[in-house]
Amino acid sequence: MRIFGIDPGSRRTGYGCIDTDGSRCRLVVCGAVTVSTRIPFSERLAGIYDELVSLLATHRPECVAIEDVFFARNAKSSLRLGHARGVAMLAASKAGLTVSEYAPTEIKLAVVGYGRAEKQQVQQMVALLLRLDTPPTPHDASDALAIALCHAHTAAGPAATRPAVHQTAVRSWRQYRPGSGS
């Protein structure tokens, strides 16, 4: 299975593509889409979208995994991140790909074994799991690979029977139960 991971950002969006046979993972490509902060925000979003569309067409993944929104102290930064994330999801959706979402702590737990791991720990484990001589850079690329690895581990393991975050059956806040996966 070929998995394309995306770590959305309004200045730099990380991407990482891996192949997995269910037990081993291999790096296909990784990097970051960087857009100038000197251009209007709408043009930055268009640049991210165009580059992701091109990467998805070139590498032809079977699915896309993306980091779920986390809460930040700065509302403006959160909104911009949400816009970049929406553009990434649109690119995947337009390519006809299923999108799975993972919380940052879930990604770190799947890759490092600790949900509050530091970026350097994630980077080192990504290199170890993909048998790379050096850790992938920038951090956005290693984070995107971690997201793809999280999906590979989640989809192949017992958690594969649980619905993805975006497919949760909860229809109302009254049905929500913390820690139950719904």
Could you list the active site residues?
Answer: 7, 67, 140
Contacts of 118 (CB under 8 A, 6+ apart): none
Helices (H), 31-171: 41-59, 75-94, 104-111, 119-129, 139-156
Whether 67 contacts 8, CB under 8 Å: yes
CA neighbor of 122 nearest in space, from 107, 134, 132, 133? 107
Contacts of 19 (CB under 8 A, 6+ apart): 1, 2, 3, 25, 26, 28
Structure tokens at 91: 């690119």
